[in-house]
Homo-oligomer: A and B are copies of this chain.
């Protein structure tokens, strides 16, 4: 039995289920910045996060992109859950935000465990619920906040996920994830710097307010 599996999921699942997961899953260590799921991709395995963080992005045909939310340890991808019931195509793109350790479980077992373990059912429902609330939160931010507020919000999230107020990124990358243009981001970042909220460097910036 993998120790880290027990550590992160031991409080959720009984030993019997933990053993099953342990037996049918494969471990993956994935470096930062790796795309692990693409839009339209058929999913056959379901990821359970042990360490690290993954960013989930919406990506449409016209090259439009938008950050939806981050996943952290103990999370699974509700979009993958989705694929086990109805349509099998991914609606989102997933990229590791930092070095990440996860185990992959063939989707076949999801259905089996739903009938067999109440703890698994609870986990799946809980996952759906959490993702749903995250999506609602994302909608709130897009619909109700102005770009400068969204930007600051984004920077805070990013600092939180990375556990570091120094954020390694470019204006262009931020622009993609917030679905706006590089010039707009540069402008707003400069404004934030004048307000002493951040310090700008090349290829990075530092968050001063939390």
Contact = CB atoms under 8 A, between A and B. Distances in A.
Interface of A: 58, 60, 62, 64, 66, 68, 78-79, 81-82, 84-86, 91-92, 114-115, 118, 121-122, 124-126, 128-133, 135-136, 138-140, 142-144, 179
Nearest to A129: B82
B86 A139 contact: no
A85 B123 CA distance: 10
B131 A132 contact: yes
A42 to B, nearest CB: 16
B85 A139 contact: no
Contacts of A64: 143-144
A61 to B, nearest CB: 10
A206 to B, nearest CB: 28
Contacts of A140: 58, 60
Given A86-B126, A139-B68, A121 B132 contact: no
14 contacts: A58-B136, A58-B143, A60-B144, A66-B139, A66-B144, A81-B125, A82-B129, A91-B136, A114-B121, A128-B132, A131-B132, A135-B136, A138-B139, A139-B142
A125 B126 CA distance: 12
Contact of A78 (B91, B115, B121, B132): B132
